[in-house]
Chain A
Amino acid sequence: MRTEELVAMLARGAGEVDRGIERRRFALAILFGGAAAVLLTHALYGFRPSLSGDSGLWMFWGKLIFVGAFAATGVWAARRSARPGGSLAGMPWLLAAPLALMWLVAAADIAGAAPAERAALFWGQTWQVCSFRVALLSLPVFAALLWAMRGLAPTNLRLAGMAAGLCAGGLAALAYTLHCPELAAPFLGLWYAIGIAIPAGAGVLLGPALLRW
């Protein structure tokens, strides 16, 4: 088939283009993936009974903003990287800002604590499971986001996989706050960050295999 014939073939009856596909696919993925992460948190670990009481603590909101910032950056990056030619130039800053803020607060907390209490700020009661649980909860979100991206056209597959993992990790961490009792900044700045970094790293490795088109 000559190229002119292909062009004629593609153009004939091409019709209107539905331009809401990208928005719909991501909305569905985030909705169902996020709901699955919340349900999984409930089924595996249970919601924390003191949840409503915690909302009076400022660090509870600090924690939400911290993980929410990663989730928001992830949504932005995933949508950007699913389109050809989308640039992610601002991403390093968007990731560094919440981390730097949390580490500043952590440094202040540690400096202000009695030496004997400092270790507890870092390890909390659940450091052994926190990162792993966030990574586990990110699985359904990650799968849903990969589905969304496969209907689009990412051209940098490692970056797109990383963005999907970051978004999945951020949303999973948000869901996990429904269970997790930890509120100390040193804990959050380390174990939550690792939990979010695991799916992001997995995305870098798996992107080329899973997102090819």
Chain B
Amino acid sequence: MRALLLRAFDGDDAAYHAFLARLSAHLRAFVRRRLARAPDEVEDVVQEVLLAVHNQRHTYLPAQPLSAWVHAIARYKLVDLLRRRGRRDPLLHSPDDVPALLAAEDREACDARRDLAKLLDSLPPRQRMPIVCTKLEGLSVAEAARRLEMSESAVKVAVHRGLKALMKMLGNSK
């Protein structure tokens, strides 16, 4: 998986897709074990962690074990969720399950309760349109820039900001 991520860093979107797909299976297993009492929220948390991994992928150091990096993000987002709801799960504090995250997987995706597509609609148009063009319709950054009459770097910045705003909305929508 580490090799896939490193290829993604060099601009290989197919490798990145494969990486995220495999990661989501691992995350699902990881989250499901810890949210046994709230199984319908598992997919929401998986999506939130995926978005966080995507937004923060520049903080991964190639020399660092991938499992430790992913685990820290997943745990941070889980603790954040539990803290927002005002309860603590002692399971989250066991440090010995770091290698377990990338060892277990669960490929059965069910629908998330919150609809990310709806959250996307509530973004301001300046952030939503670049995401829709490049991420959903599959235009290149240059094509999207022409259609939206924005500069290419403005499109990239808007996509980045939009995804960050999306993550924030995920965090606050509980």
Q: Give residues in A with beta carbon < 8 Å to B.
A: 1-4, 6-19, 21-22, 82-86, 152-153, 155, 212-213
- What separation, in Å, do the CA atoms of A155 and B57 have in the docked complex? 14
Q: Which of A2, A3, A12, A213 contacts B135 (CB 8 A)?
A: A12
Q: What is the distance, in angstroms, from A156's C-beta to the closest C-beta of chain B?
A: 8
Cβ A7 vs Cβ B11 within 8 A = no
Which residues of chain B are within 8 angstroms of A17 by Cβ–Cβ distance? 8-9, 57-58
Q: Which of A2, A11, A86, A212 contacts B17 (CB 8 A)?
A: A11
B89 contacts A by Cβ under 8 Å: no
- What separation, in Å, do the CA atoms of A85 and B134 have in the docked complex? 31
Cβ A3 vs Cβ B46 within 8 A = yes
Cβ B59 vs Cβ A82 within 8 A = yes
Cβ A85 vs Cβ B50 within 8 A = no
Cβ A13 vs Cβ B109 within 8 A = no
Which residues of chain B are within 8 angstroms of A18 by Cβ–Cβ distance? 58
Q: Give residues in B with beta carbon < 8 Å to A.
A: 8-11, 13-14, 16-17, 20-21, 24, 28, 43, 46-47, 50-52, 54, 56-61, 64-65, 68-73, 75-76, 80, 109, 111-112, 115-117, 120, 131, 134-136, 138, 140-141, 159, 163, 167
B9: nearest chain-A partner, CB-CB: A17
- What separation, in Å, do the CA atoms of A85 and B73 have in the docked complex? 8
- What separation, in Å, do the CA atoms of A19 and B8 have in the docked complex? 12
Q: What is the distance, in angstroms, from A94's C-beta to the closest C-beta of chain B?
A: 20
- What separation, in Å, do the CA atoms of A14 and B4 have in the docked complex? 14
Q: Which of A3, A12, A14, A22 contacts B138 (CB 8 A)?
A: A12
Q: Which of B10, B61, B167 contacts A16 (CB 8 A)?
A: B10
Cβ B17 vs Cβ A13 within 8 A = no
Q: Which of B13, B47, B75, B120 contacts A3 (CB 8 A)?
A: B47
Q: What is the distance, in angstroms, from A106's C-beta to the closest C-beta of chain B?
A: 38
Cβ A153 vs Cβ B73 within 8 A = yes
Which residues of chain A are within 8 angstroms of B131 by Cβ–Cβ distance? 9
A17: nearest chain-B partner, CB-CB: B9
Q: What is the distance, in angstroms, from A125's C-beta to the closest C-beta of chain B?
A: 46
